[in-house]
Structure 1
Amino acid sequence: MDALQPYTPWIIAGSVIILVLAVIAGRLLWQLRQQRKQQVVMASPAVQFHDAAQGSAGDSAASKAENSEAQGVAALQGIRILAGAYLEGQVGAPEASLRIAVLQQHRDVSAACREQAAAFIELAEKLAHIPSHQAWKDLSRDQRDAFREEMDSLEAEFRERLQEAARSLRLH
């Protein structure tokens, strides 16, 4: 034990440093998890809308009415968020169009909102034949390139109308 005595201060200092670094790492990990949870909530109103739409079968009539109202609010909020994200270049026209087209189908979305979303809905209809998810991955590179060209062409054709619609929807 006497052989380790000269190293005792170094061992204690090293242990303290390791402990401090472990606490810092734990705190950063906790902050990262909180940030990811917040991003999921903010970035996926469509998911919230879908989850709320699934409601349990045993819900009371009042509970179903509350769920429907919450779904309508989530749909409108999702449309606003997607419109803003499109204007800021965070999401492309094809994705924004497809998502807005789904969200605007909720019964609590007003006719005025649907009218403002018309450009997005029209673009979504023109994109409906393009495969998505696994079907997209299964396409050959040439097929994907052809579909990308088509999407780019449609985006250019609709750009002004989409930007005008997005500005209106963001304020709706």
Structure 2
Amino acid sequence: MTIFYIAAGLLTVVLASYAAFLLFKLQKQNKAIKQSELAQAEKHDAQMKSIIESITSIAKAMKHEQCPTIEGCIRLKVLIDQLRLEEQLKENFTVFYTVYDKTAHIPTHQGWKDLKTKEKMVHTKLMMEIESEYDSDIKQAVENVLEQFQSEERSIS
């Protein structure tokens, strides 16, 4: 009977040791998960801060006429999309989406460089018409951007 108690005691010690090892391993794994989640959250916050800073910089440049209006609208639309705002918040910026849609067919970068002068003039005329048509809406949307995102930029910092 003594051998049975010794064997049972050894088995208990082995199982308790294994349970302690698994518990230690689980704690280590949970710590790694928390660190990873924290790192992802910090990275996400940094990305959002960068996007918001870009949005406010472009809006300020547009307000002070240091950025072409059409280009600014396109850039703001793309950046605002990255924030994944609720539709209600996007309503203040619909003109950027309108301008983006109306100019989506116009080539950019190398495509623009490859256009003939006559083709560039046609697109430039269209952009000027769009800019003129939506001028007051664009100015109001730029003010909305500055109101909305400058306060968010301060709260993130």
* Alignment TM-score > 0.5, same fold: yes
Cα distance in 1 for residues equivalent to 2:124 and 2:89:
29
Which residue of the partner structure matches residue 65 of structure 2? Answer: 89
Q: Which residue of 1 aligns with 2:142?
A: 166
**What's 1:66 paired with?**
42
The structure showing larger relative contact order (alpha-carbon pairs under 8 Å, at least 6 residues apart) is 2
C-alpha separation between the residues in 2 aligned to 1:70 and 1:109? 17
User: 1:122, 1:65 → 2: CA distance?
Assistant: 33
Instruction: Give the aligned residue type for 1:170.
Output: L
Moved more, 62-71 or 123-132: 62-71
Answer yes or no: is the 8 Å Cα contact 1:100–1:121 preserved in 2: no
Cα displacement string for residues 124-157 of structure 1 (whole angstroms, at most 9, x for unaligned residues) = 1211110000010111000000000000000001
Q: Who wins on radius of gyration, i.e. which is larger? A: 2
Q: Which amino acid aligns with 1:143?
A: E
Q: What's the % identity of the aligned pairs? A: 26
Alignment correspondent of 2:54: 78
1:100 paired to 2:88: no
Q: How many residues align?
A: 114
Instruction: Specify whether residues 71 and 114 from structure 1 end up closer, same or farther in structure 2 by C-alpha distance, changes over 3 A only.
Output: farther
Q: Which residue of 2 aligns with 1:121?
A: 97
Question: Aligned-pair RMSD on alpha carbons?
Answer: 1.8
Kindly report which structure 2 residues correspond to 1:1-172, keeping only aligned pairs within 5 A, or say none: 60-107=36-83, 109=85, 111=87, 113-172=89-148
Q: What is the letter of the counterpart of residue 145 of structure 1?
A: M
- CA shift at 1:80, angstroms? 1.6
After TM superposition, where is structure 1 displaced by more than 6 Å over at least 4 residues in a row? none
CA distance in 1, matches of 2:71, 2:89: 18
Q: Contact 1:76–1:109 (CA<8 Å) still a contact in 2?
A: no
What runs of 5+ residues in structure 1 fail to find an aligned partner? Answer: 1-58
- SS, match of residue 104 in structure 1: helix
Cα displacement string for residues 60-82 of structure 1 (whole angstroms, at most 9, x for unaligned residues) = 33222211122112222221221
Q: How high is the TM-score relative to the length of structure 1?
A: 0.61
Q: What code does the residue aligned with 1:114 have?
A: K
Cα offset for 1:109?
4.5
* Deviation of the 1:107 alpha carbon: 3.5
Aligned amino acid, residue 116 of structure 1: N
| 1:113–1:169 contact (8 Å) kept in structure 2 | no
d(CA) in 2 for partners of 1:140 and 1:113?
Answer: 40
